[in-house]
Structures are given as C-alpha cells and as structure tokens.
Amino acid sequence: MPIINIKEQKNSLRAKHKKIRTACPKEIRAALDKTLFEKFVDLKEYKECSILFAFVSMPIEINTYPILEKAIADEKILALPKCRQSEPVMDFYKVTSLSQLIEGKYSIMEPDTEVCGKITDYSNGLCLVPGLSFDLYGYRLGFGKGYYDRFLEQFGGTTAGLCYSRCIEQKLPHGIYDKAVDIIITEKFTNDTRNVFEKGMV
C-alpha cells in the first residue's frame, strides 16, 4: 500500500473543504458568519485585547469584514497583513479605516503602506488566524503558502480560529512547524485548546 505523505493529505483535505464551503448556500453561510462574528466579539480575549491581528477575508473564507469594522469602532489597534512580493513573509500594518485597503498579492485586499504604519511588536494581542479547516486540538489547514506558519513562530499573544462546524476534523495531519491556535470558535461550540494541551490529551 503506498504511503501518503502529509503534503498529499493536506492537499486532499483542502479540496474537500473548499468543496464544502462553495457548496454551502450563500444565505446559510451569511447566517453562520453572523453567529461566528457575535461569538468572536463576545470572547473575553477580544474584549480585553488592545491590538487585534486579523485578516481580510476572501469569498471562500468566513466573512471578517464585520469583525474589522467592530475592532475599529471599539478603538482597538487593528493590524492587517501585507504579503511581501519577494518572499513568503507577511508584515502587519495599522489600519484605521477599511478605505485604507488596496488590492495586493493573490488579489487579496491589503493595507496601503503609503498611509498605514507598520506594526513591529508581535509580543502580545489577539490574532485571528485563517483556515479552511481546524481540528479539535487547534491545528489548522491553510492555503498552503506558509505565511501564517512563519508569522506564528514569532507571535507571542493569543490565537483564535473561526470555522464552520462542518469543516472541523477530528485530527488534521501536521508537521513539527505547525502551531495550534489557542481557541477554536464554531457556530456550535467554542474550544480552548490550551486546556487540551495542559491536560495532555493530545
């Protein structure tokens, strides 16, 4: 029997979860996104953070625009990523209005560096991490570019992931450089994975 490596497993799972998301009717996704927004901004970690590291969603992702607008309205520092052109690395910039976003790499909306200041302190705050799927331990399935894996290596704050319950896996394949998020939020449950690791349940 041929051995399937982690990369092949992840690619297969990406295709699976992209199909699940695109097959979900828009009105159902909108309702799920609204529930996830409400649960996220009700988190103690969100209410207490002074800086929110987030991302601008693409159509296949959970809609983060309401979260970005809420963070600005709550007068938090909103830090959004910009991908470098020359290497698979992200830098974060302070955004005070969504009008400061312009189309960047991969057609993703990014901060306009002409008007947004660069964030240099990654030692604290709350980071909303994207993912096509998460497992019950907080490991994520990204888009395969590795940007967030590199960023999370230097991030010292709390991490959270939003996910539809239908896109949760019991356990995702992961390598030694993959980092689990601290909190998973679905429309059905919120899971603090830090308790799982502290109890040695992995």
Q: How far apart are CA 84 and CA 108, in angstroms?
A: 12
Tell me, yes or no, whether 83 lies in a domain. yes
pLDDT of residue 197: 52
pLDDT of residue 82: 95
Average pLDDT for the chain: 92
Residue whose entry in the numeric block shows the structure tokens 């601290």:
182
pLDDT of residue 4: 58
Question: pLDDT, tens digit, for every residue of 119-159?
Answer: 999 999 999 999 999 999 999 998 877 889 889 999 999 99
pLDDT over threshold 80, residue 170: yes
pTM: 0.91
Residue numbers of the domain that contains 104: 6-198
Segment (H or E) for 102: strand 101-103
Tell me, yes or no, whether 29 lies in a domain. yes
Question: Sign of dihedral through CA atoms 124, 126, 132, 134?
Answer: positive
Tell me, yes or no, whether 1 lies in a domain. no
Tell me, yes or no, whether 144 lies in a domain. yes
pLDDT of residue 196: 65
When pLDDT is averaged across residues 94-101 and rounded to a whole number, the result is: 98
Helix then strand count (H, E) for the chain reads 6, 12
If one counts the domains in the chain, the total is 1
Question: pLDDT, tens digit, for every residue of 12-57?
Answer: 999 999 999 999 999 999 999 999 999 999 999 999 999 999 999 9
Residues 6+ apart with CB under 8 A from 35: 187
Tell me, yes or no, whether 15 lies in a domain. yes
> CA of 135: how far to CAs of 119, 131, 193, in Å?
30, 10, 10
Question: pLDDT, tens digit, for every residue of 49-96?
Answer: 999 999 999 999 999 999 999 999 999 999 999 998 778 889 999 999
pLDDT of residue 3: 43
Tell me, yes or no, whether 43 lies in a domain. yes
Tell me, yes or no, whether 108 lies in a domain. yes
CATH number of the domain encompassing residue 163: 3.40.50.10420
pLDDT over threshold 60, residue 200: no
pLDDT over threshold 50, residue 201: no
